[in-house]
Every structure is written in structure tokens, then in C-alpha cells.
Structure 1
Amino acid sequence: MYPGRYAAVAPDRPVVHEAATGRTLTYRKLEDASVRFAHWLRAHDVGKDDHIAVVTVNDATALELYWGAVRSGVYVTFVNTHLAPIEAAYLVDDCDAKVLVVSAPLADLAEAIVPLTPKVTHRVAFDENTVYLSPAPIYHAALLRYGVSTQALGGPGTLGLARICDENGNRLPTGEIGTVYFERDDFSFEYHTDPEKTASTRHPFEGNWYTTGDIGSLDEDDYLFLTGRDKFTIISGGVNIYLQEIENVLALHRSIADVAVVGVPDADRGERVEAFVQLVPEAEGSDDAEDDIIGFCRERLSRFTCPRHVRFVDELPRTPTGKMVEGRLGELIAQYADTGALS
């Protein structure tokens, strides 16, 4: 969707309505504001293939920034506002942002990451004087698709033809659950400065198939049903959480001999993060030990990422070669799942 196209034929049609403020952004206003931001970028020597980062509250101004950048050939990275300063700074620095745009209410976070983001040459704040029913936080990439609903795949405007494959890349029959791949000839997505991660999204032997990491199945009419994420990722309250990152942190705790971080079915959030921990011989499981482990994690990762509970076990179910026995781990998870939340 290019806003200028709709501004020409329906300038007063609403694009976004902010329920909290009552503000309505029309296609004409979006077009004009994005043009102004594009001029600002050009005046500050930010052009094609450069990057900007945006740290914002739920403010429709973010869409004006996004389209101003897109029409200038500039890449945009939206930063999760719940991240710890060191995590937010890593994203800003890793995307090579020349400009950092921040909502005024997030000034404290912006100030905390200034010394950690030396590549940024321009820092801009916007507030209520800076001149979409939102189903998710504005920093979430899904908003840029304006709340796309599940639909039959393969037609105009979709991600491509959906294919369901097993762990070896072989296609699965209708109704069977596996990794969702999309077949698309004009696909050009890649992770910035991370070719290894980019390669992990590609099908092992089909050059024009890629995956977003979702798990699901197709019915007889080729409608796609998503059932979850890959085993290293969960979605809690609409936010992706990467379990391996948490395990890597907890493995450094002085009292932990072994750890498995998992998603436990949750009635409110879909899944919640919990950690099954095997302690070193001299340590004892207790409420204080749980608080210490969670606090250790919160010092290093954002609060929403860290386990809500730590479950102490005598031993984690591993094979002699160290591989986790998924079935037995699943039994542990089921013990703590909310009633009715198990899928």
C-alpha cells in the first residue's frame, strides 16, 4: 500500500484512528506528513539504503515516519520499547542507524542508549505537538500490514504460496502440521549484516521458498492454520520471545547446573516463559533462590523476556548424548499449564 495512491482518490478516508486520543489520520494527512519527513531526511544527508531507528509509544506518527523513509529508499527498524537499554542500543547499533527518532515520553530510554549508539548522527524526539485500529504495539511489524487477516494464500498481496514441510524440507500432506514455507519468485528478504540468519529462513533445496518460523497446516481448500512458532520461539502476549537467548543467560548463574526455558500454555497470554532448573549440588531450591535467578535474568534481559516462574527439578530429561527428551519435557510443561490453555 502506497498512501499517495489513495490520497489522490480518497484523501479524507481514515487510515488510522487512535482510540486513546481520538486522533484520526487520513490518507491526505499521512501523505503530506510522510513527504515532509522525506524532505527532512534528504536535508540531513539520509538517503537510499541508509537506516533509521524508531523508538515510539503507540502513536500514529510512527506511520508517517515509516512512509517518509520508504519513499526515500531508507530502511526502518522499530525498536521494542520494553527492552532493556543495552538491548535497545544493540538493535539501533546493529541496524547501522544514522537517525534515531524517539517519542518524547521515552526520553529516559533514549538518554540511556545515547552512549551505546555511536553510529547515530541525528537524534529526534516527537511529542503531542508534532505535526489504525491498532491490534498490537506500534513497534510491531505487523502494523505495517494494517492488521492483515488470515486468508487463502497465493493471490495478490499475499506472502506467496504456502507449503508445509517436515524438518528435512519434505512436503507434508493436507492437514499435517509442519514448518510453513512460502513460495515466491520475487522474494528478496534478508537480515541486515547476518547472512547466516538469512540462510536459516531458506528452504534446504527449494531456492524460492522461505519461512517466517511459523508452524501450521493447510486444509483441503489451502487455507492456512497457524498452530505455533518453531521450538526456539514462543509468542507471549503478542510478542516473540527467543528461548535460547534466555537459556544462554541463565546458564551463567552460579547455582544452575542445567536449564531448559520453555513456553507454558497461559490462559491470558497464550504462553508464558518458565524455566526448569537443575541446581548445582550445594544449592537448594526455594522462593529466595527463584527470586535470585529471575533477578539475575532481569539484570541482563528485558523484563518481559525473563521467566515468570522457576521450577526446580532433580534432573532434566536428557539422553546420554545431552539431547533433551522432548516428550518428557512436555509432560513437565503440562503440569504447570493453565486449565483450558493447552493446545
Structure 2
Amino acid sequence: MRAHGLWTIAADEPDRTAVVAPDGSRLSYGELAARADRYGRGLQALGLEPGDVVAVLLPNGTEMLSLFFATWQTGLYIVPVNWHLIGPEVAYLLENSGAKAFVADERFAATAVAAADEAGLPATARFAVGDIDGFAPLGELGAGEPAGRPDVLTTGAPMVYTSGTTGRPKGVKRPLTGDDPNVPPAAGAWFLGIFGIGPFDDHVHVCCSPLYHTAVLNFATLSIQLGHKTVLMDAFDAEELLRLIETERVTYSHMVPTQFKRLLSLPDDVRARYDVSSLRAMIHGAAPCPPEVKRRMIEWWGPVVIDYYAATEGGGTMITAQEWLERPGSVGRPWPGSTIRVLGDGGAELPVGEQGLIYMQMGTSDFEYHHDAEKTRSARVGRLFTLGDIGYLDEDGYLYLCDRKADMIITGGVNVYPAEIENELAAHPEVADVAVFGIPHPEWGEEIKAVVKPAAGVVADDDLRERLLAHVRSRLARFKVPRSVDFVDELPRDDNGKLYKRKLRDPYWADQARAI
């Protein structure tokens, strides 16, 4: 088997294309490795040592990947920062992570300056892609150092902060392995192998979500390590994705259900215009996919749509399109080496078909929430951990998700999971997006509220409201039917599809508190 890994491929095939940037320019393996070497030497010259942290506020681009590999080979943690955050939120990440260097793009200049100032980051630790006042050009990092690899070579790691849907985000920090960074992690190649993806097998990856997300970053960087051309999108655009699939002969990607819905909303003639026959594995996760959306994508793209459920913290499940058609709604069986258990409130394992908290574990891997021992402890039962998701296992070990425990509605003493209602509303042709949650009710404790973004061209009025409620009544038990429906122009989702339901729910509960 041919040896793989960024630096091995750069030595053997320096002109091989590693990255296609959002502007269409191409970066070879030799060029990517050289940038990673220069930045790695520069970070060591600043005094950074293995275990130190570099934070990056960058869009999808070649500099983001160059810095990832610079930190990867020098034993540093890289913290990719969500560029939707504002100054104080970014400052918290800089302070909490203990970042000793900060690299930002000029399009986020105001946020970067405010965050660096609030965190008290010295001028010598600030670098910019483009022009940011008080930040040195990134091109100066390592420019005065001798050519060649950094002096200290040891494997680093990303430290990605959880999205913070409740409370402040926490960094998921794994112990450094001390491994040789020239050798790609066996676990990474094994992970892509779950989806039928291997080294030098003519795969082409398209990255259509921001690289600050764990899975997105992992897929892109592992693809490069395995010798796959990686095509970057600056922002998701449904038709542009189809164009890239056709022109770059894309074979796989990591996507989210929101992107599926945007693709399906394209006019039929636009969808038919592009050749997608190169696709082999279109992998989706991050958020539950409404069954009707999944079914339509399989009908369009064929049996290449693969679902998985996983966590930044480790472990997960996977299900092929063929399996899913036999078990609609399942997210599959555990990966080899991964443990999935459904436990009750007391930590006892529940029988087949009974809903409880989903716990998982990946082999012997370990992690902690950075500077939050209590969160680490409360998420565990032994070595198993939970994200707070509710689900159940069938008799063949297939996992089904119900909802997050924090989102469960208790109305009149009955537990109702919003995801079930959301799936039914999402399938309605007049609905573009939907969220369901509980709001205060003086007698029942909570009542069910639906918030809907109508599809393009649909009038948000009482008639639509009644059509949607009638649709739910025809599909679900009466106690699951929302008591009311509100309409909005947009739901608060991040660009990886994660819904910040708390932002919708909190005002209703705040109104009750003021009334008391």
C-alpha cells in the first residue's frame, strides 16, 4: 500500500492537488506542507511548546488548513472559533483556552480586535490574514526562520468548543498522544473506512460547511491525509454545490439536513441540470433528518446517503441508505469499537424499545471538558458519557433518537418529544423550517408551541396555521398537537444546522416570570 499523510505525499508527489480554494485556485501538497512548516517554525519561535493553544478566527480557506497542519505537527491545540460570535464571546474562548497565539481574517477584524483586547492578548501573539489594526500579517509568521520542518515534531490536536446551547461553551480536550505527526492517525483512516473511504481511492471531498465544526474539520483534514483532493466552499449555496460536484467530480461530503432541504427546494429543472453520478458517499449528521427529507434525497442521489450519530467527545453509530429504508428513522448500529447504551435515571440499562438517555464510549479514548470538572463528571456513568439525547434500541441493536432531554415537554404529566412533531411539520410542503417546544401553561405546566418559517411564496396567515395543525392532527395523537403556531422569517440556526431552541423558548418563560 502506498504511504499516505500530508508530508509523505508532499515528498512523493509535491504537485498533486491537495486543496481547491473557494475562489477556484489550487494548492498542491508541496505548497500546503511548506506553509505548515513555516507557520509551525514561527509558532515555536514565539515560544509555544507542545500543549499550548492557538486560536483561529478564519473562514474556509487554505490558511485555515495550513494552520491546522502547523499545529498538528508541533503538538499544539488548535481552537477553531465560530466566526458568528461577537467580541466578548470570542474573548471568553481566548481566555478559557489559554490561547498563546490568535490568527484572524480581516473580514472579522472588529470582532478580532475587541476579543484580543478584552482577553489581554499581547500584540506579539496577534496575526491577520489581510489587514487588521494591531495584528501582524500572517505571512510574517516563520518568515525569518530557517527552511525545513519545525525543530520539535509531535502530534497536536483540535480542541473544539461545544456549541453552548445551554450555558457557556466548553472545550473538548483530549490528552496529546506523543505520536509521530508524519503518520496519519490510524483512528482517522479507520473512521473514514466505516463509510467505504480509503487512501488513494480516487475520492474527492467537498467541504460545504464551516471548518470550525468538529466533523467538518475532521473530514477535510483526514481527506488530505489520505491523498484526496479537498474542495472548499466559502458558504453553502445549493446550486453551487451541484456545480462543484459535476466539475470537480466530487465523490463524498459531510452534510447536514438543512442543506438537504435547500437542495430539495431548488426547481426541478435546476436539480436535473447537473450530473451527480460521481457521488459515492454523502454522509450526514449533526442534527436529526426528517424522514421525508432523507427519503427524497435517496430517491434523487441513490443509495449513497449515509447517516451517522456521533459526538465530539467520541463514539457513534452509522446506517447505510439500504438499512435506513428498512428501518426509517434509525441512526444505525454502533461503529466497531463503539459502545452505545440506553440508561434510566438511576444509571440502569433499559430494555429494548424503552426510551432513556443515550450513553456512549469509543474504545478506551478519554476526554475532559476544559476547566469544567463538574460538567465532565455529570455527563458520565463510569466511562460512558451522554450528550443528553433521548432514544431507544431495537432488538437488533439499531438506535433511534427521540429528542434531547432538555427539550422534552411535560404537559399534563405526559412526556412529549418535540422532534416527532417537528418531523411531521417539516414534511409539509408549505414549511421551510420548524421548531417545537414547551411554553408555560397554568394548568398543564407546559403547552406545545410550534414556530414555523413558511416556504418561499407561502403566506403566513390563519389559513396556513389551520392547514398545518390539521396536518399534525392527521398524523399524531391529539395530545401531541401544538396548541398554537407562530410564524417567523428565520429560525436561529447555526450554519451547521444546529437549532438554538433556547433563543425561541426563553422569551415565553421570561414573560411568565415577569407576570409572577
TM-score past 0.5 threshold: yes
State the shift of 1:48 in Å: 0.6
Count of residue pairs the alignment pairs up: 257
State the shift of 1:275 in Å: 7.3
Corresponding position: 1:210 with 2:385:
yes
State the shift of 1:186 in Å: 2.4
Matched to 1:155, the amino acid is P
Contact (CA 8 Å) 1:181, 1:210: kept in 2 or not?
A: yes
**Which of 323, 331, 334 matches 1:153?**
334
The structure with the greater share of residues assigned to helix is 2
Matched to 1:125, the amino acid is A
**Which of 216, 226, 229 matches 1:143?**
216
Structure number with bigger Rg: 2
Corresponding position: 1:178 with 2:356:
yes
Q: Compared with structure 1, are the counterparts of its residues 195 and 17 closer, same or farther at alpha carbon in structure 2 (3 Å cutoff)? A: same
State the shift of 1:98 in Å: 0.7
- Structure 2 residue matching 1:170: 3-state secondary structure: coil
- Structure 1 residue matching 2:366: 3-state secondary structure: coil
Counterpart CA distance in 1 for 2:341 and 2:99 is 35
Counterpart CA distance in 1 for 2:91 and 2:350 is 41
Counterpart CA distance in 2 for 1:224 and 1:181 is 11
State the shift of 1:112 in Å: 1.5
Corresponding position: 1:102 with 2:283:
no
Q: Name which of structure 1's ranges 39-48 and 146-155 shifts more when overlaid on structure 2.
A: 146-155
Counterpart CA distance in 2 for 1:273 and 1:32 is 50
State the shift of 1:88 in Å: 1.4
Contact (CA 8 Å) 1:3, 1:27: kept in 2 or not?
A: yes
Which consecutive unaligned segments of at least 5 residues does structure 2 have? 132-136, 140-204, 220-253, 255-282, 285-307, 309-317, 319-332, 409-417, 443-499
Which consecutive unaligned segments of at least 5 residues does structure 1 have? 234-261, 279-303, 317-343
Matched to 2:69, the amino acid is W
1:76 equivalent in structure 2? 78
1:323 equivalent in structure 2? none
Counterpart CA distance in 1 for 2:341 and 2:71 is 33
2:376 equivalent in structure 1? 198
**Which of 46, 49, 56 matches 1:47?**
49
Q: Compared with structure 1, are the counterparts of its residues 212 and 196 closer, same or farther at alpha carbon in structure 2 (3 Å cutoff)? A: same
**Which of 229, 233, 237 matches 2:404?**
229
Counterpart CA distance in 1 for 2:355 and 2:8 is 40
Counterpart CA distance in 1 for 2:502 and 2:209 is 20
Corresponding position: 1:3 with 2:184:
no
State the shift of 1:40 in Å: 1.4
Contact (CA 8 Å) 1:47, 1:74: kept in 2 or not?
A: yes
State the Cα deviation string for residues 317-336 of structure 1 (Å, max 9, x = none).
xxxxxxxxxxxxxxxxxxxx
- Structure 2 residue matching 1:97: 3-state secondary structure: coil
Instruction: Please give the root-mean-square deviation of Cα atoms over the aligned residues, in Å.
Output: 4.0
Counterpart CA distance in 1 for 2:399 and 2:27 is 32
State the shift of 1:196 in Å: 1.3
Q: Name which of structure 1's ranges 166-175 and 81-90 shifts more when overlaid on structure 2.
A: 166-175
Q: Compared with structure 1, are the counterparts of its residues 171 and 63 closer, same or farther at alpha carbon in structure 2 (3 Å cutoff)? A: farther
State the Cα deviation string for residues 19-38 of structure 1 (Å, max 9, x = none).
x4224455444433322221
Counterpart CA distance in 1 for 2:87 and 2:58 is 14
- Structure 1 residue matching 2:39: 3-state secondary structure: helix
Counterpart CA distance in 1 for 2:355 and 2:28 is 41
Contact (CA 8 Å) 1:16, 1:133: kept in 2 or not?
A: no
Corresponding position: 1:166 with 2:344:
yes
- Structure 2 residue matching 1:113: 3-state secondary structure: helix
Counterpart CA distance in 2 for 1:24 and 1:126 is 18
Q: Name which of structure 1's ranges 27-36 and 58-67 shifts more when overlaid on structure 2.
A: 27-36
Corresponding position: 1:134 with 2:207:
yes
Corresponding position: 1:125 with 2:152:
no
State the shift of 1:315 in Å: 5.3
Contact (CA 8 Å) 2:361, 2:384: kept in 1 or not?
A: yes
State the shift of 1:305 in Å: 8.2
Of all paired residues, the percent bearing the same amino acid is 29
State the shift of 1:42 in Å: 0.7
Q: Compared with structure 1, are the counterparts of its residues 202 and 315 closer, same or farther at alpha carbon in structure 2 (3 Å cutoff)? A: same
Matches within 5 A, 1:54-65: 54-65=56-67
State the shift of 1:46 in Å: 0.9
Q: Compared with structure 1, are the counterparts of its residues 197 and 308 closer, same or farther at alpha carbon in structure 2 (3 Å cutoff)? A: closer
2:480 equivalent in structure 1? none
